[in-house]
Structure 1
Amino acid sequence: MDPLCSPVERFIRDLPKVELHVHLEGSMCPPVFLRLAEKHRVPGLPKTPEEVAAYYEFRDFAHFIEVYVASVQVLRDEEDFALLTADVARRLAAQNVRYAELHISLYNHLARGVPASVVFAGVEHGRREAEREHGIRLRWIPDFPGDYGVEAGERTLDAVLADGPPSVVGFGVGGMEVDRTPFRDLYARARAAGLHSLPHAGETGGPQNVWAALEVLGAERIGHGIDSMEDPRLVDHLREHQVPVDVSPTSNLRTRAVADLAEHPLPRMLEAGLTVTLNSDDPPMFGTDLVNEYRTAHALGLDLADLALLARNGVAASYLDAAAKRELVAEIDAALAAAEQR
């Protein structure tokens, strides 16, 4: 049997999904990347699909960050951000993703002289278009690279508070994984303004960064968090307090955060009772998408009920309204029941 026609594949494709850890800029597909690079005549970037594929072969996490920062140079005006958002939303909707919370690398644009008002105007145009054409709902998590320091975070938050639309749901920190403790006051201000605390932590920096995200930044979800499994006390805390952990297996492999996919802690995280959600992070850069992440989870030994649990966890951890959550969970349960009857 063609694996793409298998019962598991059909279930994965039929499964209603949400995605909570995916970067807008990291979701730029090669045709859009090449189109914008040519439009703005950006030097030093790939010029063919083959060159893009080679460009996205990462030596390690630091090299990935270097490529990511170089790639966002192609985004310069409102039209660029609208085009990117509409394209990303279309590809998400084609995977039966109903709702997504996308990180926006806002500081990387501010640092290049692109105003936050331009970024938000563009992504909002694309969001509204996507909701009209595909029915998918999008929300935003502006973030900054932690290794750029507190000043970068303050500048990003100031821009969000000045120009951010109501569709902004949270505030993030990513980049190279440095100590999160210096961002205490910054995150206190973000939370006081009504933004949810949604930092990256425990991807490459160890469980101590997850503790800092929780205790210092008031994190409501942990981006990546795979290093949590190194600390049994942390695992107990995450389980007891039902703190969602947004996991992206292929990303972890491609950035060398894990040496081999077979070693990925996703199955152990579920066995430990953690509230794990499944995500694609930077899909074109890592040669994946959310459907493929569900395939990967199945290849790691998860059965259909486990995959449905991941989907339900995503709904529960999202900032969808209660009625929409109930509707999506009912659809997920119906998809599982139909698959189990086949």
Structure 2
Amino acid sequence: MKAVRLHQYDERPVVEEVAEPEVTGAFDVVVRIGGAGLCRTDLHIVEGQWAAKSNVALPYTLGHENAGWVHAVGPAVQHLRPGEPVILHPLVTCGFCHACRAGDDVHCADSLFPGIDIDGGMAELVKTSARSVVKLPAGVEPASVAALADAGLTAYHAVKKAVPLAYPGSTCVVVGAGGLGHIGIQCLRALSATRIVVLDRNEEALSLTRDWGADETVVVDGSHVERVLELTDGNGAEVVLDFVGERGAERDSWAMTRRAGSDFVIGYGGSVDVPTIDVISTERNLIGNLVGSYNDLVELMVLAADGRVEMLTQTYPLEAVNDAMDDLDAGRLRGRGILVPTASGG
């Protein structure tokens, strides 16, 4: 089968023929890919930012946002049938550790992460576990929701954590209206009555956010922090969701957070440098966010099926992975890029 393989850090991946994954365990599931999302994390992987954390042996197959159709299952899998459309939780988890039994499977003590530390889904087939498979509602095409497996799930997870703080009358600032941010805005509107203020450098992206639920938009032009403070009577926002996390956004997000407010760090690539006295004197919270749980993904699929969360996508054939990476890196991609194998189909 064809797969997108990374052979060397700081060099773009190549599409090449590799052996198809096979069922070897009782709970294994092999999925035929209908769409694999392209994430900024994939760019960071190529840059080597994840090398020390993943310790993955090169070459390997990229792709951690995957949806498609069940292709083959292990002998213990009774609830899935070949041909059923599914989306995959990005982690393969053990099911036995404290985190898994508590429903916090994102922190599984013995997890694997296809596309990060083992072969992923930028390929015609991917191998996962029955614990990771979520059936798609009728009428939902895998390619249209593939990126919800990570980008959407990460955004939903952060918003769900923030909702108790985003009460009616509060302000929530969303930094970044791109691949994660545009999902976060929709999730906020679906789950809360907070006032949503969206920041982005791109005025075209901002123009779309009104339809997603934004109440105010602010162009990132150097005066944006002051503008947000003006909109909040000089106090700052109760909640800031930073979907960028680099190039100064991490500094601005903290500056826009009010006393006793919460700054959720979701995007990454930069660093947070906050004097400890600023933390204790204002009792502001700095909250890290990883991808969401299996149950978070199930809930997100309900919102997607109801049309309350929709993802902007641009599809590319698998062979055009580097064109897609160029578009993402240059900021030309609105929403998420989805790689579609030419051989895909239920």
More helix, by proportion: 1
Same fold (TM over 0.5): no
* Structure showing greater Rg: 2
More strand, by proportion: 2
